[in-house]
């Protein structure tokens, strides 16, 4: 018998069940070798890799671009075509069921070792199965760990769903053996920075479109572009987003269904790497031996993992009344699409929407909530106070629509035990754990160690940040605006400032503001009388707590601005920006002028630069 645990989710009733349960009870071999009978879209049979690649190379689109590139570069067209074929060879997936089986077998073993359970929402799988039969499906998971896509393919295999074709980064391919296994598991590889390489773009986009058009497998890609080092959602990238939507724009498919997938981990495998990368310690190159060395990772306990398949979002429904598909009637559809401003805006909106849906469906761990209090108490906090505050925060989070995995009252001490590498309880007091290393340490090293602990902790807070973003931003706006009347204006300014930091759907400022106000009203921190907003005296705590959430970001933005105001930053190179700012911040931390160690996050520092660029405070010129 299968035990199914009902997770009561606030927004909708979805039942999650543990897919490892069955694996622990029956043979992994027979699971890997069982009959696999996926129902594909419109009974499409997968073309052979060769046939698919030929379709791409011989497409009107690629022939056109090849001729254009040849004319521009003066190279003979045959050479350009060969080059394109080379790019395609390097890129193409080679999905083979046998490798999926092999992978299925090994993953069963690995996952059982790593995780206590992998919870998947059952309704989501049923919806996905239905969706795959109706229209081409795009799986859009968030990206927090290398194993994200392995888990997804594993789930798809286990539940007889078409194995997705996955857009992966080139570094993965570099791992000789693993790269090939991934390729045969359906991964195709994309160069990180394509820049203005026209031919590369052409091959990639036609490849993606061809897969969507034929619809033999779902396409999976990370709309955030990269694995988030902060565990916070990243501003979506639009390249692949537009590619997967184009077949719909041009009427080559009736619809494209976008399925947001929210993956959340109690504990992320790469957690120690994350903080190091954010501090500017370069990440180790991804190599097979490196991966094998990471074997010790396998010996640790990573708690639970949640995968929530969201409701498929119909591109057609989103485009209704917003995109005039007739605009493509006058040019052959095989020719490059010159996306109108209207269309780009639409694609951008869709991408942001999907990231928001990923956030909304995310199942959060108690630990994520505990970190809020931990981070707000740099000197440590009493266990009783931590649990008390976390329970209060839990109520708040549920009011704001969060999905929490909160099975019982023991869960908080469990969580703390699971994250022993980040925080520990000693004599009833909980404190962040600093890396131990050989002493004695310099002042800088001490700062780094401290920052490393804080950033690691902050990344778990970031997983839940979206729940509080809007109310916190309203709270901040209301308490810092010159008058309550100016609150909304202030909110809009903050939203623009943090547009690279937090996910806001463009053009939704009004809704966001209302959502934030609603949240605050619900917890009694805000009243509306005669259309005037007023912060109440009774719930000051909530307001203080919420604004404190944003404090590390505010402080980083302030500090970076201050540093940039220094004379030596009249002009500076993008390359040197991070290291110069880091050095300056370290000094300020040592002198005590800056208090939050989060100011050392290179991710936030970069975001400040983008924000200042966007708002015209900094300008960029090529030298």
CB of 131 to other proteins, least distance (A): 14
CB of 561 to other proteins, least distance (A): 48
388-407 residues in contact with other proteins (CB under 8 A) are none
Pick 293 or 325: Cβ nearer other proteins: 325
Instruction: Give φ, ψ of 28 to 5 degrees.
Output: -70, -30
Pick 251 or 290: Cβ nearer other proteins: 251
Instruction: Give φ, ψ of 323 to 5 degrees.
Output: -120, 125
Spatial separation of the C-alpha atoms in residues 585 and 579, rounded to whole Å: 10
Residue 61 in the binding site for other proteins (CB under 8 A): no
Pick 347 or 585: Cβ nearer other proteins: 347
198: helix, coil or strand?
helix
Query: In this structure, what DSSP letter does residue 45 have?
Result: P
CB of 251 to other proteins, least distance (A): 4
617: helix, coil or strand?
coil
Residue with tokens 């975001």: 607
State which of residues 27, 288, 329, 489 lies at the interface with other proteins (CB under 8 A).
329
Pick 282 or 321: Cβ nearer other proteins: 321
Give the closest residue to 319 by CA, choosing from 340, 341, 350: 350
Pick 58 or 301: Cβ nearer other proteins: 58
CB of 331 to other proteins, least distance (A): 10
216 preceded by cis ω (within 30°)?
A: no
Pick 324 or 511: Cβ nearer other proteins: 324
CB of 208 to other proteins, least distance (A): 18
CB of 203 to other proteins, least distance (A): 21
Q: Are the C-beta atoms of 173 and 183 separated by less than 8 Å?
A: yes
CB of 316 to other proteins, least distance (A): 9
Query: 10: which residues sit within 8 A by CB, 6+ positions away?
Result: 398, 401, 402, 403
CB of 59 to other proteins, least distance (A): 12
Residue 322 in the binding site for other proteins (CB under 8 A): no
Give the closest residue to 424 by CA, choosing from 365, 364, 370: 370
Pick 253 or 542: Cβ nearer other proteins: 253
Pick 239 or 247: Cβ nearer other proteins: 247
Mask 102-131, x = binds other proteins (CB under 8 A)? ------------------------------
Q: Which stretch binds other proteins (CB under 8 A): 88-96, 139-147, 151-159, 322-330?
A: 322-330
Which two tokens mark 216? 């033999």
DSSP string covering 70-102:
HHHH---HHHHHHHHHHHHHHH-----HHHHHH
Q: Which stretch binds other proteins (CB under 8 A): 10-18, 150-158, 275-283, 319-327?
A: 319-327
Helices vs. strands in the chain: H and E counts, helices first: 25, 16
Which two tokens mark 338? 């010159």
233-262 residues in contact with other proteins (CB under 8 A) are 251-254
Q: Which stretch binds other proteins (CB under 8 A): 49-57, 330-338, 386-394, 481-489?
A: 330-338
Residue 332 in the binding site for other proteins (CB under 8 A): yes
Pick 60 or 443: Cβ nearer other proteins: 60
CB of 214 to other proteins, least distance (A): 12
Which three-class secondary structure string do you get for 420-450? Answer: CCCEEEECCEEEECCCCCCCCCCHHHHHHHH
State which of residues 74, 326, 438, 592 lies at the interface with other proteins (CB under 8 A).
326
Q: Are the C-beta atoms of 138 and 259 separated by less than 8 Å?
A: yes
CB of 330 to other proteins, least distance (A): 9
Pick 40 or 171: Cβ nearer other proteins: 40
CB of 64 to other proteins, least distance (A): 14
Number of residues that bind other proteins (CB under 8 A): 12
Query: 484: which residues sit within 8 A by CB, 6+ positions away?
Result: 478, 532, 533, 534, 535
CB of 335 to other proteins, least distance (A): 11
CB of 206 to other proteins, least distance (A): 16
CB of 219 to other proteins, least distance (A): 19
Pick 253 or 474: Cβ nearer other proteins: 253
Sign (positive or negative) of CA dihedral 318, 322, 323, 324: positive
State which of residues 34, 333, 360, 486 lies at the interface with other proteins (CB under 8 A).
333
Q: Which CA distances in Å does 444 have to 447, 505, 584, 591?
A: 5, 39, 11, 11
384: helix, coil or strand?
helix
Which two tokens mark 170? 């080139």
State which of residues 149, 182, 302, 328 lies at the interface with other proteins (CB under 8 A).
328
CA angle, 334 as apex, 333 and 339 as ends, to 5°?
65
CB of 48 to other proteins, least distance (A): 18
Spatial separation of the C-alpha atoms in residues 182 and 83, rounded to whole Å: 24
- The residues that bridge with 219 in the sheet, in sequence order, are 138, 165
Residue 41 in the binding site for other proteins (CB under 8 A): no
Q: Are the C-beta atoms of 553 and 462 separated by less than 8 Å?
A: no
DSSP string covering 326-361:
GGGTTS-TTSPP---HHHHHHHHHHHHHHHHHHHHH
Pick 252 or 286: Cβ nearer other proteins: 252
Q: Which stretch binds other proteins (CB under 8 A): 63-71, 324-332, 410-418, 451-459?
A: 324-332
Query: In this structure, what DSSP letter does residue 161 have?
Result: -
Pick 320 or 570: Cβ nearer other proteins: 320
Pick 350 or 386: Cβ nearer other proteins: 350
Pick 56 or 457: Cβ nearer other proteins: 56
Spatial separation of the C-alpha atoms in residues 355 and 261, rounded to whole Å: 9
Task: Compute the chain's Rg from CA coordinates.
Answer: 25
Which two tokens mark 151? 């888990």
Pick 118 or 318: Cβ nearer other proteins: 318
Residue 325 in the binding site for other proteins (CB under 8 A): yes
Spatial separation of the C-alpha atoms in residues 541 and 401, rounded to whole Å: 20
CB of 252 to other proteins, least distance (A): 6
Q: Which stretches does DSSP call E strand in 472-520?
A: none
334-353 residues in contact with other proteins (CB under 8 A) are 334
Interacting residues toward other proteins by CB under 8 A: 251-254, 324-326, 328-329, 332-334
């Amino acid at each position: 018998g299968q035990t199914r645990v009902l997770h009561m989710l606030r927004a909708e009733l979805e039942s999650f069940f543990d897919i490892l349960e069955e694996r622990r009870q029956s043979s992994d071999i027979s699971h890997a070798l069982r009959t696999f009978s996926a129902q594909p879209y419109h009974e499409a049979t997968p073309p052979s890799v060769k046939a698919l690649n030929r379709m791409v190379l011989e497409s009107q689109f690629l022939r056109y671009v090849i001729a254009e590139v040849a004319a521009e570069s003066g190279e003979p067209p045959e050479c350009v075509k060969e080059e394109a074929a080379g790019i395609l060879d390097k890129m193409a997936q080679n999905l083979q069921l046998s490798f999926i089986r092999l992978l299925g077998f090994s993953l069963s073993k690995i996952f059982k070792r790593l995780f206590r359970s992998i919870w998947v929402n059952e309704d989501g799988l049923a919806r996905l199965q239905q969706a795959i039969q109706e229209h081409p499906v795009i799986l859009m998971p968030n990206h927090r760990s290398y194993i994200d896509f392995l888990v997804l393919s594993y789930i798809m295999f286990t539940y007889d769903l078409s194995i997705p074709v996955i857009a992966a980064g080139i570094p993965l391919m570099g791992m000789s053996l693993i790269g090939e296994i991934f390729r045969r598991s359906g991964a195709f590889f994309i160069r990180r920075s394509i820049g203005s390489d026209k031919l590369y773009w052409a091959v990639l986009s036609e490849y993606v479109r061809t897969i969507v058009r034929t619809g033999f497998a779902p396409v999976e890609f990370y709309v955030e572009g990269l694995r988030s080092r902060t565990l916070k959602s990243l501003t979506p990238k639009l390249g692949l987003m537009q590619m997967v939507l184009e077949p719909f724009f041009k009427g080559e498919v009736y619809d494209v269904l976008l399925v947001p997938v929210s993956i959340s981990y109690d504990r992320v495998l790469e957690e120690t790497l994350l903080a190091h990368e954010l501090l500017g310690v370069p990440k180790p190159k991804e190599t097979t031996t490196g991966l094998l060395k990471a074997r010790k990772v396998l010996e640790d306990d990573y708690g639970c993992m949640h995968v929530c398949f969201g409701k498929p979002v119909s591109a057609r429904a989103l485009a209704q009344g917003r995109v005039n598909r007739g605009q493509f009637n006058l040019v052959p559809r095989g020719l490059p699409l010159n996306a109108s401003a209207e269309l780009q805006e639409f694609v951008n909106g869709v991408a942001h929407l999907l990231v928001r849906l990923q956030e909304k469906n995310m199942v959060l761990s108690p630990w994520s909530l505990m970190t809020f209090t931990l981070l707000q108490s740099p000197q440590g906090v009493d266990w009783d106070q931590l649990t008390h505050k976390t329970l209060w925060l839990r109520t708040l989070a549920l009011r704001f629509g969060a999905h929490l995995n909160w099975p019982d009252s023991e869960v908080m001490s469990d969580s703390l035990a699971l994250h022993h590498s980040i925080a520990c309880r000693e004599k009833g007091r909980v404190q962040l754990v600093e890396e131990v290393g050989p002493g004695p340490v310099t002042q800088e090293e001490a700062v780094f160690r401290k920052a490393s602990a804080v950033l690691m902790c902050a990344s778990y807070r970031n997983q839940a940040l979206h729940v509080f973003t809007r109310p916190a931003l309203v709270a901040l706006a209301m308490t810092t605006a010159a008058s309550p009347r100016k609150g909304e204006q202030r909110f809009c300014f903050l939203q623009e400032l943090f547009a690279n930091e937090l996910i806001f759907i463009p053009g939704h400022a009004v809704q966001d503001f209302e959502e934030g106000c609603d949240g605050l009203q619900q917890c009694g921190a805000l009243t509306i009388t005669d259309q005037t907003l007023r912060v109440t005296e009774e719930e000051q705590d909530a307001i203080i707590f919420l604004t404190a959430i944003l404090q590390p970001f505010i402080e980083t933005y302030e500090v970076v601005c201050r540093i940039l105001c220094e004379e030596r930053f009249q002009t500076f190179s993008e390359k040197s920006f991070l290291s110069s700012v880091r050095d300056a911040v370290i000094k300020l931390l040592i002198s005590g002028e800056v208090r939050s160690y989060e100011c050392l996050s290179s991710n936030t520092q970069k975001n400040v630069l983008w924000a200042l660029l966007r708002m015209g405070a900094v300008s960029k010129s090529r030298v």
